[in-house]
Amino acid sequence: MSISNTYRFFVPADAIDADQVVLNDSALAHQIGRVLRLRPGDRVLLLDGQGSAYTVMLTAVGREQITGQIEQQETAGGEPAISLTLYVALLRAERFEWVLQKGTELGVGMFVPVTCANSLPADRADARKLARWRRILREAAEQSCRGRLPTIAEPQPFAAACTQAATADPALLLWEGSAPHLRETLRTQLALPPDSPVPADHRQPPTISLLSGPEGGITPAELTTATEHGIIPVSLGPRILRAETAPIAATAAIFYEFE
Amino acid sequence: MSISNTYRFFVPADAIDADQVVLNDSALAHQIGRVLRLRPGDRVLLLDGQGSAYTVMLTAVGREQITGQIEQQETAGGEPAISLTLYVALLRAERFEWVLQKGTELGVGMFVPVTCANSLPADRADARKLARWRRILREAAEQSCRGRLPTIAEPQPFAAACTQAATADPALLLWEGSAPHLRETLRTQLALPPDSPVPADHRQPPTISLLSGPEGGITPAELTTATEHGIIPVSLGPRILRAETAPIAATAAIFYEFE
């Protein structure tokens, strides 16, 4: 049985009881029964979002409810070795949503929207928007074969984001001004000479926080706030990246280094 | 005089004659005179797209023509040490244009659109589209402070793209199946042990070709064609990236490694 071409869905962990699955979700029932036209006897891969994957044979496909029989449980693959939390300034809607989608594909574990001096105001991030963002994360996670569902927090002011980000080691801030290159900083932070490789047995830093600013940039006062929290400014090189490009380029580089 | 906040424009190299600049370009004249409202005496940074930057004081701002006096010539910054050509399958318009924009910001030197078995047909890429793509490259290059203007070729069939790509060393193909990770391949290709760093004095591979497939994927026959040309399949890890995400993630990783 090939799993690679099987449809994948994240489901609530409490929908799984011993070897049975009961999904009371009319949107998912519509997707499975009407859009994909799956029938009892067809198999799907269900992910509990907490690291387990279940091969499930559908036993009933209704309008409101799907039931199934678990045939196999395994550890969900597709997760990176490291845990990266992306603190990203609120950007214009399509750019922000694009960061969520691409970041999820690449492996981001958690997103924290941040309000900055130069970013859009937080009051534009209402509950409806948060629900939309979660749908984007779920769809991207299913499509990219993530093993866990990334989370997204309520928007936070910059200083609060710094406090939270500083609990990871290293905590990095993307900075367009003069700063060491991300590459050197990652290797230095891992107590390696700047031009050393990251050795195979060291490919698991506990957690990384990455902060990224808005279209209008991080202000000097915000830079000071970040460095006072022990957050390290890093550069991605001499070219000026757009506010949505920089966090994705840095995320790609981090997973390139530590996958 | 601060250059960092100066408006930057790519102009034809033949517009520059000794210490004088004559620009017969009504679109640029509109942008400079009407949109930005620059006047004689204001300064701009002009780039010849071939590696030189000119600080220019405007001497006349007309509807059809701009003239200026060159005050300073210098080597344009913002260019990466390596030359990366991105061979990217034709994707749906907005995704393809997004690859052009992000790739330009990151430092791609040349784009080659490729028609694959599973990609959109080449006849959708007419002259009008090529002109639009060139505008996207120019705008992204100006905004990201590139020193050179990336080029874009006419669309090529996959086999022809392989022949051209193989002239670079290394030539890489992004492959979702089983393949060594980009990181190991780059380091092996540079004759370094897979887990070694890239040493500082080795940070200049001559050129890199990177091939990236369409939404429907590279076919087994295309994979064979590529490997017969000596092109090396590489992986970006276990997650499945969208057709527009993969080339940008790989580009970010390559410039992270070699900037």
CB within 8 Å: A245 and B182: no
Is A95 an interface residue toward B (CB < 8 Å)? no
Among residues 168-207 of chain B, which lie with CB inside 8 Å of chain A?
Answer: 181-183, 187, 195-200
Express each pLDDT in B103-148 by its tens digit: 999 999 999 999 999 987 766 557 789 999 999 999 999 999 999 9
User: H helices of B144-206, where?
Assistant: 158-165, 182-189
Q: Is the model more confident about B28 or about B190?
A: B28
Q: How large is the average pLDDT for residues A43-69?
A: 93
- State residue A123's pLDDT score: 61
Question: How many Cα atoms sit within 13 Å of A137 on the Cβ side?
Answer: 21
H-type alpha helices, B114-244 = 127-143, 158-165, 182-189, 220-228
- pTM for this structure? 0.89
Between CA B53 and CA B140 the distance in angstroms is 17
Quickly state the pLDDT bin for A213 (edges 50, 70, 90): very high
- On chain A, the residues whose CB falls within 8 A of the CB of B200 are 195
- Helices within B74-228 (DSSP H only): 93-106, 127-143, 158-165, 182-189, 220-228
pLDDT tens digit string along A215-228?
989 999 999 999 99
Is A188's pLDDT higher than 70? yes
| Phi-psi label, residue A174: left if phi above 0, alpha if psi -120 to 50, beta otherwise | beta
Interface test with B, best of A181, A256, A258 (most B CBs within 10 A): A256
Calpha distance A243→A73 (Å, rounded): 41
Residue B5, pLDDT score: 61
Q: In angstroms, rounded to a whole number, what is the distance separating the alpha carbons of residues A126 and B214?
A: 36
How high is the pLDDT of residue A190? Answer: 67
- A101 in helix, strand or coil? helix
Q: Which of A1-15, A151-165, A240-254 has the lowest mean pLDDT?
A: A1-15
CA max distance for chain A: 61
Residue matched to tokens 């071939």: B50
Alpha carbon A108 to chain centroid, angstroms: 3
Q: Which domains does chain B possess?
A: 8-75 (2.40.240.20), 83-258 (3.40.1280.10)
Q: Is the pLDDT of residue A78 over 90?
A: no
Chain A residue closest to B147 (CA)? A239
What pLDDT does residue B181 have?
94
**Cβ pairs bridging A and B (under 8 Å):** 110
**Distance (Å, rounded) from C-alpha B140 to C-alpha A229?**
34
- Tell me whether 0.90 is exceeded by the ipTM: no
